[in-house]
Structure 1
Amino acid sequence: MSTNSELMARREAAVPRGVSNTHPIFTQRAENAELWDVEGKRYIDFAGGIAVLNTGHRHPKVMAAVAEQLSRFSHTCFQVSPYESYIALAERLNALAPIEGPAKTIFFTTGAEALENAVKIARAATGRSGVITFAGGYHGRTMLTMAMTGKVLPYKKKFAPLPAEIYHVPFPHAPFGVTVQDSLRAIDMLFRADIEPERTAAIVLEPVQGEGGFIQAPTELMEALRALCDKHGILLIVDEVQTGFARTGKMFGVEHSAVKPDIITVAKSLAGGFPLSGVIGRAAIMDAAEPGGLGGTYSGSPIACAAALAVLDVIEEEKLIERANNIGAKMKSRLEAISRRNNTVPIAEIRGPGAMIAFDVVATRGTNEPDADMTKKVIAKARDNGLILLSCGVYGNAIRLLVPLTASDTLLDEGLDVLEQALTV
């Protein structure tokens, strides 16, 4: 059997460095919220494949649905010969999504594909071209979504020129000194200096920024954007790729406000580890593109659709929305206690709705000065002791916790013990 170091040497020889690895361990198998590497070492998974595994690794109900689908067929291409699971999943999401009036859904494969197609649909529906997004937001690595992403390193370096008609404004966050009014004034200035409202197709944002540091959009901002979009005929697109499907203690993150967007993009935990994304929107908007203008060879894979239908069943049957809130409360309580100790790495800004929790590693207790180097050390120490963590944030000093919502309290406590040990100096 190969070792982690042997496989890493092969990886470095065969795979470009542009796709990086947070942890130099190679997974051999995984169950629920645990995984084992090729050397047999066990890890508690607080990363969840970057929020893909809200229902855990290999949930039995998801595996059974996939096996049943595989016994019938693996692929036809929906545009060639459609299948019922695609329709059934669209119907479920149309009913669940906080969209005003009748909704329709189309499926793709990745989150970036969903965002690309959401913009295509918005442009077709409005006849406009401009797109406004937010600093710190992450929307993908394709050329358009890379332009939409509000973070240069590592996503944009060396890849210019980027597509035009994409504009960024600051995202409100008190430690950065940005208020909701600052964000709204920046949009107003865009309308005065760069693009008129009548040429703006959409405003796009995450209800909780993922890569940006798990920063939640204030309700005041969401309400102001809805009013602004209504005033000028602009579409409001909410990127739920990371926040969707019970992670935030709601089915969709935008439900923490009463705002109803025009379009929602989904992916990640939709299909329990199988590649699937989607765009849900108001029916009249979704029908704006001409037949054949949307789609893809693997878009809406029958295997992934079967998995997604099972995921929605699991969320309902196992009450994972309630579970997310319980997990988040436990995590925040434990982190607050750690933050008050004098023999731990200084941490600040414990935050996030539901079980989408993050905190900042700072240089000095009581400040917001980021310490990205210490963040890396904490993550490495946790890994050495059997816990998988991820960082995020525009300064690289936030640690995010994305444990599967199906994790037991015993496993959650064990993981938090390891995290506390990694933060102890």
Structure 2
Amino acid sequence: MAKDFYGELQLGILGGGQLGRMLIQEAINYNVNVHILDPDKNAPCRKLCNRFECGSLNDFDTVYNFGKDLDMITIEIEKVNVDALEKLEGEGVIVYPQSRIIRLIQDKGLQKQFFKQNDIPTAAFQLISNKENLYETAIPLPYIQKLRRDGYDGKGVKKINNTSAIEQAFEEPSLIEELVDFEKEIAVIVARNDRGDVSTFPLVEMEFNPDANLVEFLISPSTLPFEIQTQADEIAKKIAEDLQIVGLLAVEMFLTKDGEILVNELAPRPHNSGHHTIEGNITSQFAQHLRAIFNLPLGATTARTNAVMINLLGEPRYEGLARYEGVEDVLAVEGIFVHLYGKKYTKPFRKMGHVCIVNDDRDLAIKNARWVQKTLKVKA
């Protein structure tokens, strides 16, 4: 920590979306000054921070000038100018997660190589320079093609079923990986501070929207066998230790039908798979991230009760000023918590908010969540 609390610490966040918004809500408890850089003048954080700057996250000068007078910088999105962060680190600004980790995770190819070098279980893969390489690969069809850079929220991913589908493949540098016949998609969020303390949140089980390819439904804690939960927990801790990360790390994994766990991707920040922790756990993922980067004792992550999180996505065929249907209906039910992200405009499958449903009766929590999915809609 460069300074004590009491309103003196100047914290910069690269990105002013919903993750930054929820970080600010938690940072208020620590009495720090929060500065936000985001390219959208209507970003959800714009009215909540001490200083809002509209500018590119990818421009060296913009990021450097934003951060040079701050004590610490963190991120809510990986697509940022790492060269500027490295210069800031060299000049004494604390950057967590460290710039070297952001650089690694920006490139899915480097991520995969990191898994291989550190004996982290992951699907077989091959790095591809351009589309022509896809006609001769060591990975049999069908396989998944992922852009090495800039893929986000389901974008930058394609399933290549046969050789004729290669015509529609990505041209840019990418990787292909073996198509995993998985039973479930699961995730563990792990935190590590500069003291080397490491703590994980209980394993969660996820469902993805088939059209948008992003998390739509999540339940915690998992009821998978203890051995599976333990193995996933150990994998997440190993990755955090191998990276020596300071901050929060979301580890997304596949559980195969054979009971094997394979790591899919990493996110070095608060993540969609941890939103339920605000109501569902003793410490939220946002509080834990701040504890980690401030080098404070990590909080207890025990689940308070069963928690289901659903993403509130913009309805298909609607685009424009956001209008929410069914908010009063869902808020009339005990144990339902609505989080709207302050985004002025909606479009199909845009993340407009999330809802957390908690209940000591797991089946009732799931039933209520399914009802919320049918009742609460974002239109225009």
TM range (shorter): 0.3 to 0.5
With the length of structure 1 as denominator, give the TM-score of the two structures: 0.33
Q: Which has the higher helix share?
A: 1
With the length of structure 2 as denominator, give the TM-score of the two structures: 0.36
